[in-house]
Structure 1
């Protein structure tokens, strides 16, 4: 048997220790006519798994099995069939286990990356060049997403198929779908949102700015999530909100005392109006969103143009500010934005 083992190993390149149990099975079958038992099959499956771990291609392993059958005595082809099946089973199980391990490692890496705990060695393993700038896009669905949601796999497969696995990271973070892509790969963000649009019916997205390194990814993620939150608080209609377009709002919030004082001083008198400040605040918002066009603002609110004119005059009398004056319009618009950020008048000012 040793000479046969040496011939087969030499001809196919399969390590001899992977084939020893197989040749014993062939010899026993040729001598007795019995097919391999459970213990033999288990041993062959272990050899198949070992071949996978060593990187021996499956077709090379199968060729070695057939070559050994040619050399040994006939009558053993039933054993060959079962043996090859056992080799393949063990091989495939080892590959599945490797995929599961890699997937778990990737999920852990992405989770650490989005929390600022990723290291360069792991990043390189997954194809990220930490010196490059990355953009994070976040999608919030109507219901929070779980890590096993099929939407994730669908979107990820589409993106990886187009851009490659080393350019795109797709994951779930705090119930939201997250895509990390290089800033140089400008089409990736649009493709991600296109795929989301085909999978989800109700969603909103935030896009962070490009920042370099793992810390930059965390910053971009925070910007993207904050963009969605700001959109909700400001009542913005856009489905996709970009942090770069909303930079003024964090500036306003940075000095909360000043913006509170501005809202209280400029818009506080509106609370004296019949029906409260809410309708008048909505009117200002609609006028500003319509670039001062009263007809378009009336259409937004579902009222007459005359009602818009009347409300603006009421606002001027109560506050002393008019959108018709350029300086006063800027003050009013800033105060309205501040009111939405502070959720006034629904919440009283501190």
Structure 2
């Protein structure tokens, strides 16, 4: 209803007048009667509107005065609530930042501040990082102004916070440039925290996608930790994971640090060394496929992933004899023994590097 063009035009007129306006009926929206509408203003910002249907026709001037006064009272009340909320948010955000940087003082001080902001330090916790995928590329491609970028970041923080707080009401949430970091209390019984974390990550992604279609985020979770001592290290690990995802251009991911496995190890190696490693093990096969439009690399990947020729043939949808011929060619070209465990490991890692770097 609020997005109807006539309603939008009427609200703009009300906002421009900065006072009560008598507006006509909107039968196409089921609004069959005239009404008075007044904007709720605070700090030159419209916080909402008041709409009155049954005002006495003989004392319309009085109705105008009453609705204008009501709008003023509501504006003061909302402004006060916002101010209190902002102060509380700053206090909670400062506490979270101190936990993340390890500057909270001693454990007794952290416990006092946790009680003050209503955060339960007992039990286990998870650090969450929500990162906008390729934010610089997004803003550069759309030539967004700096003011618009800051407004976008504030809205992003607000939406992520709403999703997190819906599941973890006492969570600490803080914006950091184009990221949002949160500390989630799991309590003394961790339970199936991985499934809950993954579900939360998907909810965050869905909320952002509905807000801005085509705008994607990646969400990273730490392993359960103790607070306050484990928070700083957990953030460091999650940040490393998110940087790895960005480096390999793996967008729109929901990952947990303990589950990252080989990709996490490869993240500590420079691109140059990874490329050299991959070419050293797969170079002859890549050159063969490029020159002859072959499929030896894809065959090797299917064979190593399935671990068995029959299943690899089914995966590639080729005859088993075709697969055996290709494996023989791989042995001839590389001179490698595909039954040797170390050789298989080296090739599997080289194939993973190739996928991560898009080679």
TM-score (ref. length: structure 1): 0.54
**1:166-203 Cα distance to aligned partner (Å, 9 max, x none):** 2x123333413433213445375245224214313333
Query: Which consecutive unaligned segments of at least 5 residues does structure 1 have?
Result: 1-82
Given the alignment of the two structures, is residue 189 of structure 1 paired with residue 197 of structure 2, yes or no?
yes
Deviations 1:112-165 (A, max 9, x none): 44344345143443334556432123333446495411x54344335434443x
Matches within 5 A, 1:3-14: none
Q: How does 1:214-253 map to 2 (within 5 A)?
A: 214=228, 216-231=230-245, 239-251=253-265
Alpha-carbon contact 1:130-1:213 (below 8 Å) kept:
yes
Which structure carries more strand by proportion? 2
The structure-2 alpha-carbon separation of the partners of 1:114 and 1:334, relative to structure 1 and needing over 3 Å to count, comes to: same
- Relative to structure 1, the CA distance from residue 291 to residue 141 in structure 2 (aligned partners, 3 Å threshold; closer, same or farther) is farther
Alpha carbons 2:219, 2:255 under 8 Å: kept? yes
Where in structure 2 are the equivalents of 1:35-114 lying within 5 Å?
A: 94-114=80-100
Local SS of the residue matching 2:183: strand
Does the C-alpha gap of structure 1 residues 288 and 273 become closer, same or farther in structure 2, counting only changes over 3 Å? same
Q: Could you tell me which residue of structure 2 aligns to residue 148 of structure 1?
A: 154
Please state how far the C-alpha of 1:288 moved relative to its aligned partner: 3.8
CA distance in 1, matches of 2:351, 2:74: 69
CA distance, structure 2, for counterparts of residue 194 and residue 253 of structure 1: 24
Q: d(CA) in 2 for partners of 1:143 and 1:265?
A: 31
- Superposition deviation, residue 216 in structure 1: 2.3
- What is the CA-CA distance between 1:332 and the residue it aligns to? 1.7
CA drift at 1:233 = 5.8
Q: Distance in 2 between matches of 1:274 and 1:94?
A: 68
Residue 142 (structure 2) aligns with: none
Q: Which of residues 342, 348, 354 in structure 2 aligns to 1:333?
A: 348
Distance 1:90 1:199, change over 3 A: closer
CA distance in 2, matches of 1:188, 1:217: 19
Of residues 180, 192, 195, the one that matches 2:183 is 180
Tell me which of 121, 124, 128 is aligned to 1:133. 124
Deviation of residue 322 (structure 1)?
A: 5.0
Mapped to 1, the partners of 2:354 and 2:263 lie a distance apart of: 11
Query: Separation in 2 of the partners of 1:283 and 1:330?
Result: 16
Query: What RMSD, in angstroms, separates the aligned Cα atoms of the two structures?
Result: 4.6
Counterpart Cα distance in 1 of 2:294 and 2:101: 40
**What is the 5 A alignment of 1:199-278?**
199-201=207-209, 202-214=216-228, 216-231=230-245, 239-251=253-265, 263=278, 265-270=280-285, 272-273=287-288, 275=290
Contact 2:289 2:296 survives alignment (8 Å): no
Residues 259 and 154 of structure 1, relative CA distance in 2, 3 Å threshold: closer
Question: What TM-score, normalized by structure 2, do the two folds share?
Answer: 0.53
Q: Which structure's CA Rg is the greater one? A: 1
Secondary structure of the 1:172 match is: strand
Taking a change above 3 Å as real, the CA distance of residues 111 and 264 of structure 1, as seen in their structure-2 partners, is same
- Give the Å deviation of 1:283: 4.8
1:76 aligns to what?
none
1:315 aligns with one of 330, 340, 343: 330
Give 1:333 shift. Answer: 1.2
SS at the partner of 1:117?
coil
* Structure 1 pair 193–274 and aligned structure 2 pair: CA distance change class (3 A): closer
Where do 5+ consecutive residues of structure 2 fail to align?
1-68, 136-148, 210-215
